[in-house]
Structure 1
């Protein structure tokens, strides 16, 4: 495998709106990020991934872009962005931008032109269709954000496709001129000096010709159009063309967010010989606590399923392709609340989950606040939630007669605003995030969980993450070693080994809130890292609640 700089890098995702507010307007901004670069340098990360900072009407918190080459005023100016880039690079930290090109905002200049007339030069930059002869929608697809995927526009008496919000019309990737305009925009950002892209829902850009009706699942109001746009018929062609025309000419990181991508798909997307993207974000492990009715149908976490899933991805992409590793991002609830224990064993389980993830093969992604063990939030009133997905779901399901209490329970567990509450810097008002009123309420537990407290405690989650990052930087085994699952059927312990050139690391992670004894089958005298001070070893290895421990052995 040809070695790349991003193989041993650790990425830190910043959701700018919630990170650090430098001017007191209640919204995080670019200058606020600059103020915290030394903090990130202390943590030891190599790359910052910025969620969108482009000009946007903010219907979906910046994932609806009005101008791809301007900065949202709330976040600052292009001069501020250039200063962030320079200040980060001065600290040997790279900057990766979010690239949202499945759709734009309905306020983008292209769409404003497109909706003017059917013969406008920009008309086919988007996906317009007339109603069916019987007056029904062009097809039965549902929006991922609830409701139908079509919005009527009276100017031309036609509908446009929007897989997400009605203010996020889908771009028409069949239009060659549109594609090349996008590639030009990408090149201009790269020439500015950025270090790569995280590519939003990039495997949805190719739709089945004719946009046929989709299967309607029991209880659903609309068809599941994913069968006609997830990993669509021309997606590999488009990604290869994009690579050749833009980022393939630069030494940068590209990661594609790809819901519904299998390991077979990922091998194709990330095979260096195919020249598409460097790595993908899989969603499979994020759906393990979702029932048959989707995300909001919450079922208990099953460790055996997690083991099977991670093992499948670690094994499939070992020789060809590359994994991304993540627990959290701006769309996912906090992992310590989701798969750990965010009360009695918050610190122990946060460190355990970090150990499990960071010693796998792939590029790890840390989401802001993960490194101090931030938790989910449980607002009691739906009015306290800002996320469009939550609000649309609430409206649709309460109108259908669903129990508000049950819906709130699902939102508390799986809602995206769990990740978007402001970063908790200290115990002062608003967690030190802003001197103004935060755009989204702060998690009430900020007096106990914050950066100032973490930096003052040598045993904190923060310093544990710092150690894990150092291990990846210092040991090739962590980067390139072969993975093997151990204790495959154990219901409470995730154990695996990593081996490279005669050296093996054994990683043990307990998901239990009580002591668990497991066989001790190898030398345990060389301990690499652990979240308890010392290990308990007799004839067996005793793992205490949410314990993580790693041992190292050498052949001969």
Structure 2
């Protein structure tokens, strides 16, 4: 029997603090900027806010190179600001979730500086080897994964940037340090924790190159000992709280591993992020390629992971947008011709799915990729590295820029667009990263449209009375997630899993069945209804409320949800 999880109804809103709102006019987002917009967050009805790193950092990887885990970056504000933000959100029953970057830290962290200074205790906090004992692994940001450890003649491992040395989790002192960090933030009222690339912490004591035919990532990912480490961390920290919410970002993982991480009785994590579904516009599963979106690929991966996790009672965290991904509306929709339909359909795909939905800032108003002119407009270290590497492979500059422009992480990191002013209401100063299309997409305009359509009585002819604009539709989705138990706790059954255009699934729970059908194309598509749904009521849609005949037409980018007439019979 499937476990009923107490957090299953919750919706998480992700804020990238550097890009949300700038309160002091320095061009960089900060904590007070978030405080100033708590009303907007609360209006969405969400249950938790996940913030990307807010700690002191040199900024080589936008805060994921942490120099001090228990302090606030001065550019973000003060600890008093953070405490005020926690209180302001809690006044709306919204919890705070923080990023814990425990696979690596910054080379400016005290631990690494003391290691470089020769302190043996802190040298054991890192993975340091003689030259003859290092592997040929490649960094995830490009280039070798090993760099010289000062002038010692030895080398340290960094699976990411050289400024991000990997921590040695085989050292019990490191594990205790991490538990202490979690407990520090628990004492500040933090209830949720997102663990960055946490499945990389279980590296073998003796590191080896991959045998021929084996992906080298398999040599350091999802080690069996990761489960021991997570259980220990939970027992020492967040596992002591009834109201915790934890998610592990899983790099290059599998359904079987995610089942193990999220098993309700295992005492590890509440849920996991995986990324295979976001490779639907990759060529040969490679990010920096000139591929086009393949709806069928996304559909098949979503079905496989949902069915696998549902069957094994594991729990996913579902998202299409985050700080590391281009805007989903630009990738998987048609913001030029079908902006509302695309945005609302993609939102429903996430929020009505089995698992915990994550909504990324700006998604609720239909933000798209910015229109940057060239690589000089980008800040992201990964994008600049990819640009150089692709040029070195002989690709012409136009092709390289087309690839990097489409795949850059800066697509999602451009400032939140609050109004149509020069800097989008984000700042009064030239921002760290420019917005480009705030004249047409911004919160102020979204609210005005919502108010106008409400006055005119423009709503869908369905059970929910679906709003016909993006912001209102997202608010409706969150409300549905809270009040319809079938979407929080229901099982997942794939419908027409071989379709290359329509993603359809059934959610069923305690006598209620809902069919969710999403057309991922700009063409009309047909959907054959399963038994029990012919004659069903239209529960929700972003378009025409097509009657539930045996064969239903879906308009471009339409989502339609039917409530079955027969409960669980049939």
TM-score scaled by structure 1?
A: 0.94
Residue 287 of structure 1: how far off its partner (Å): 1.9
Contact preservation (8 Å) 2:3, 2:313: no
CA separation in 2, counterparts of 1:356 and 1:263?
20
Give yes or no for the alignment of 1:343 onto 2:336. yes
Structure-to-structure mapping, 1:221-370, within 5 angstroms: 225-251=216-242, 252-292=244-284, 294-318=286-310, 319-370=312-363
Equivalent of residue 396 in structure 1, options 389, 395, 398? 389
CA separation in 1, counterparts of 2:85 and 2:73?
15
After TM superposition, the structure 1 stretch with the greater mean CA deviation from structure 2, 1-10 or 543-552, is 1-10
After TM superposition, the structure 1 stretch with the greater mean CA deviation from structure 2, 403-412 or 16-25, is 403-412
CA separation in 2, counterparts of 1:375 and 1:170?
34
Contact preservation (8 Å) 1:115, 1:155: no
Contact preservation (8 Å) 2:100, 2:194: yes
Match of 1:489 in 2: 498
Residues 1:277 and 1:404: Cα distance change in structure 2 (over 3 Å): same
Residue 525 of structure 1: how far off its partner (Å): 5.1
- 2:348 is paired with a residue whose SS is helix
Match of 1:424 in 2: 417
Match of 1:112 in 2: 113
Residue 310 of structure 1: how far off its partner (Å): 1.6
CA separation in 1, counterparts of 2:158 and 2:127?
9
After TM superposition, the structure 1 stretch with the greater mean CA deviation from structure 2, 16-25 or 156-165, is 156-165
Contact preservation (8 Å) 2:534, 2:550: no
After TM superposition, the structure 1 stretch with the greater mean CA deviation from structure 2, 15-24 or 449-458, is 449-458
Contact preservation (8 Å) 1:334, 1:374: yes
TM-score scaled by structure 2?
A: 0.92
Residue 47 of structure 1: how far off its partner (Å): 0.5
Residue 515 of structure 1: how far off its partner (Å): 2.3
Residue 518 of structure 1: how far off its partner (Å): 3.2
CA separation in 2, counterparts of 1:520 and 1:6?
31
Contact preservation (8 Å) 1:50, 1:96: yes
After TM superposition, the structure 1 stretch with the greater mean CA deviation from structure 2, 227-236 or 58-67, is 227-236
Q: Which runs of 5+ in 1 are unaligned?
A: 218-222
CA separation in 2, counterparts of 1:67 and 1:544?
51
Structure-to-structure mapping, 1:534-553, within 5 angstroms: 534-535=545-546, 540-553=551-564
Match of 2:68 in 1: 67
Match of 2:203 in 1: 207
Q: Which runs of 5+ in 2 are unaligned?
A: 451-467
Residue 536 of structure 1: how far off its partner (Å): 6.2
- 1:541 is paired with a residue whose SS is strand
CA separation in 2, counterparts of 1:233 and 1:502?
39
TM-superposition CA deviations, 1:438-467 (whole Å, max 9, x none): 10111x211101111111123321110111
CA separation in 2, counterparts of 1:3 and 1:192?
29
Residues 1:30 and 1:178: Cα distance change in structure 2 (over 3 Å): same
Contact preservation (8 Å) 1:330, 1:416: yes
Residue 484 of structure 1: how far off its partner (Å): 1.5
Contact preservation (8 Å) 1:208, 1:233: no
Match of 1:379 in 2: 372
CA separation in 2, counterparts of 1:312 and 1:515?
25
TM-superposition CA deviations, 1:201-231 (whole Å, max 9, x none): 00001112221123688xxxxx964121110
- 1:352 is paired with a residue whose SS is helix
Match of 1:220 in 2: none
Give yes or no for the alignment of 1:480 onto 2:496. no
- 1:360 is paired with a residue whose SS is coil
